[in-house]
Amino acid sequence: MEKSKRHQQGMEIIKKYEDPSDNPSYSITFDSLMDLDSELENYIVEFAFGDIYSREGLSDKKKTLITISSLVTQGLEPQLKLHVNIGLTIGLTQKEIVGAIIHLLPYTGFPRVLNALKVAKEVFTEREIK
């Protein structure tokens, strides 16, 4: 079955965002959820990456900082880990990621920011970033 243009665009973005080491904890993977719904991958690849992430107007770094900020405010730590990894892969620095998270203190509060910093620190440690 031929994949749509949206799917192809989405996969191009995903490949750009994946860590070159191909470590599964850094990668955007759907395998563990595919048995729940065979269309789940298409929803994620086509909509999130093929439609949204492929839009012009913001750099990959800005898109990722926005995503990290949104995930922090929602307390979505598993997804935050993925996007902190993506940020590092596309060239965000540890200082930029930590700065974005700390900037959320007055808007989100200490518990979510501290939890997010813990996730970021775990990623930095896994990726051996000092």
- Based on its alpha-carbon atoms, the radius of gyration of the chain, rounded to whole angstroms, reads 15
> pLDDT-derived band of residue 60, with 50, 70 and 90 as boundaries?
very high
Q: What is the pLDDT of residues 1-56, one digit of tens each?
A: 678 899 999 989 988 888 777 565 455 666 777 788 878 888 888 999 999 999 99
Start-to-end Cα distance in the chain: 45
Number of C-beta neighbours around residue 72 at 10 A: 27
Q: What is the pTM of this model?
A: 0.87
Q: Which of 79, 121, 126 is nearest to 97 (CA)?
A: 121
| pLDDT at 59 exceeding the cut of 60 | yes
Q: What is the pLDDT of residues 61-87, one digit of tens each?
A: 999 999 999 999 999 999 999 999 999
